[in-house]
Amino acid sequence: MASTSTSNLSPKLLLLSLLLGSFVVASVGNLYQDFDLTWGDGRAKILNNGQLLTLSLDKASGSGFQSKNEYLFGKIDMQLKLVPGNSAGTVTAYYLSSQGPTHDEIDFEFLGNLSGDPYILHTNVFSQGKGNREQQFYLWFDPTADFHTYSILWNPQRIIFSVDGTPIREFKNSESIGVPFPKNQPMRIYSSLWNADDWATRGGLVKTDWTQAPFTASYRNFNANACVWSSRSSSCSSTSPSSTSTNGGWYSQELDSTSQERMKWVQKNYMIYNYCTDTKRFPQGLPPECTATTTS
């Protein structure tokens, strides 16, 4: 784009030019720049000049994408609109993950259901290759009717899952009582739409209805206020973590009292499974973070 001299502009026009310039810079977020379509043989698409991404699933294959960048801490936002209609058997997974047998992972998974029945939002946290920290929720809206924002805040003290700005789950750093916490392995963002009718809907009792295919999930408005990991170093200064206090202070952010009340409201009214109350699953005793006062 040709440069334009601002030396001859009036103060008002100069201010307008600067405002418009900053607006353009702020809105150049482009899914082509942020993500690679990794599998699905054309079933994953980036559309509308990079403003929309869609994943599709049919009987032959699902599809997926991953971020070009790796991150070590950040606040990640994405708007999703899930598979409408009879989505039983399908899973739309959206998560952060590192690689290897001792990988870390922070999961949103959306388990499809029969028309009119609610999606199940499945969350999990893996650290050092160990997961089994599932919490599941119904949503308080139809996630197929419009786009909604699903966010992961990940800093050295905690992981917070949020939906449209409402926190639904917090996993605190409990290393002091021997619980590993994801903090050393950079993670990419991944998403996939795939068939899991052997388990996803009512334990596999409801199978995918392929007459409804192709199934499609949509993504837009990705935003990452995050530390980008490249060449074994972070874009955030290791000597001055406070330098990441910009962008809303996510690096040291915690839930204030209002946010804690909102999270309690969600957990009271919409949580349908919590590993921390599943005594049958843990006959030797619940995981230590479940009984510690340092975690939710």
Residues with a known catalytic role: 105, 109
If you search the block for the tokens 């690689």, which residue do you land on? 99
3-state secondary structure of 275: helix
How many other β-carbons are positioned within 10 Å of the β-carbon of residue 197?
A: 18
Chain centroid, CA 243 distance in Å: 24
Cα 34 from Cα 135, distance rounded (Å):
29
- Cα 170 to chain centroid distance, Å, stands at 14
Name the DSSP class of 269. H
Contact 162/154 with Cβ under 8 angstroms? no
| Of residues 275, 289, 260, 251, the one with CA closest to residue 171 | 289
Helices (H), the chain: 11-26, 31-34, 246-249, 257-270, 288-291
